[in-house]
Amino acid sequence: MSTALLALVAVILCILFRILNVNSAPRKPLILCQDQSFLSTVLKIAPVIAEPYKPTRLWGFSGHVQTIVHSVIGRVRCPWPIGVRVSIKLTDETTLTYDLYQPLTNDYEDDVTIAICPGICNSSESIYIRTFVHFVQCHGYRCVVLNHVGVLSSVKVTAPRIFTYGHTDDYHVMLQNLIQKHPNTKIICIGYSLGGNIVTKYLGERGPNKLSNIIGGISICQGYNAIEGTKFLLSSQNLRRFYMYIMSESVKSIILKHKNILLSEEMKQRFNLNEGDIISAATLLDLDEAYTRRVHNFRSVKELYKWSSSLFYLENITTPMVFINALDDPIVPEILLDPIKEHAKTHPNTLYIELAHGGHLGFYEGGLLYPNPITWLDRTLVSLVGSLTLAHADKSMKAS
């Protein structure tokens, strides 16, 4: 082998090692919690959050690979849980659907329902949602999963709108309908990425007036502040502009798929919509300027983003909350995590968990090349649901 070829192989290996970050070692998550009593209760059932997270050896230390594997492949050996699809016609003529899954075991004494709000352009049919639903069904929990309006191909859009980053009413309607069916159930709200923002904002909007069945909330990989987050996603640093493009195209495809309703002549005239601007939008900022802020009657995209961002509702949350983020998340830069860290340090019943690795919603663990079937995130979430249920029981016992 020639010296030049050896040098080329060495360079390629160096690049791969740098991208895959294989020289990293498993690390314990950073835990921030001002309320030591709350933390102690959580750790009784979820000691996993104080243990080192061990990503898949060859590629799990790369936030990009974790994120891409999650987006393209999803979970290993994904089941298809059996549930019932519930359809509700709203006052604005929107057809809202959610999927209801009953527990597969009766070992758990409490009636607990996990109310899931998926990430952007996701639904109950998304692979990571299906895997988690089946996993928690096997642990004796009921699940409901919101299907973001416009996402499911099998459900027609019947009103001139789809989901947005900060629209919480659909989630509220799902919970109300759930409580009609199961009035005594205790609800733990879980949101992924965009869904994490919606769940957090929802609990902040309602504050002490929230539905009494809700006993806890968990947010995973959200960015908290859409105004600042969009600025970073417009940067080419760390491939963020690439991720912005993928998300923009996903939302755009939903709009164009339902253009007969969303971009009818009446809608174009009423909201001054230009279909060409929507089709040519290269970023979420462009798309929200051309479409979202107009149909939702905001004067500017900045105004829309401020209204949407959970950061501005944190102070009103009275529900016990757990926030989970990864430092190597290529979509949510580290600087966006500073406000939630400060919040966890100064507010009761609030826990912040930060992993060095995991990417955006990845958190694969174990194995050299092929990860474990159950991710760190899925098994940790089940433990945290148990912890929040225990914290609620302890609080109720003290109150009585």
pLDDT at 108: 64
What is d(CA 290, CA 285) in angstroms, rounded to the nearest whole number?
Answer: 9
Q: Establish if 8 belongs to a structural domain.
A: no
pLDDT at 223: 96
Q: Determine contact, residues 384/88, Cβ cutoff 8 Å.
A: no
Q: Establish if 14 belongs to a structural domain.
A: no
Query: Does 168 share its domain with 258?
Result: no
pLDDT at 396: 80
Query: Does 39 share its domain with 124?
Result: yes
Query: Does 194 share its domain with 288?
Result: no
Cα distances (Å, whole numbers) of residue 40 to 46, 204, 355, 388, 395:
10, 24, 19, 11, 13
Q: Establish if 19 belongs to a structural domain.
A: no
Exposed e or buried b for every residue in 129-142, given b needs 16+ CB within 10 A? bbbbbbbbbebbbb
Query: Does 87 share its domain with 162?
Result: yes
Q: Establish if 20 belongs to a structural domain.
A: no
Name the domain boundary from 308, 340, 369.
308
Q: Determine contact, residues 96/170, Cβ cutoff 8 Å.
A: yes
Q: Establish if 167 belongs to a structural domain.
A: yes
Q: Establish if 245 belongs to a structural domain.
A: yes
Query: Does 219 share its domain with 362?
Result: yes
Active site (catalytic) residues: 193, 329, 360
Domain that holds residue 211: 28-225+320-399
Q: Establish if 5 belongs to a structural domain.
A: no
pLDDT at 66: 92
pLDDT at 11: 39
Q: Determine contact, residues 99/348, Cβ cutoff 8 Å.
A: no
* Under-70 pLDDT residues of the chain: 1-20, 22-23, 107-108, 400
Query: Does 59 share its domain with 142?
Result: yes
pLDDT at 10: 40
Give the sign of the dihedral formed by CA 314, CA 174, CA 88, CA 136.
positive
Q: Establish if 391 belongs to a structural domain.
A: yes
Query: Does 70 share its domain with 178?
Result: yes
Query: Does 41 share its domain with 94?
Result: yes
Name the domain boundary from 308, 333, 356.
308
pLDDT at 336: 96
pLDDT at 3: 47
Question: 217: domain CATH number?
Answer: 3.40.50.1820
Name the domain boundary from 308, 336, 366.
308
The total of structural domains in the chain comes to: 2
Query: Does 365 share its domain with 337?
Result: yes
Q: Determine contact, residues 97/147, Cβ cutoff 8 Å.
A: yes
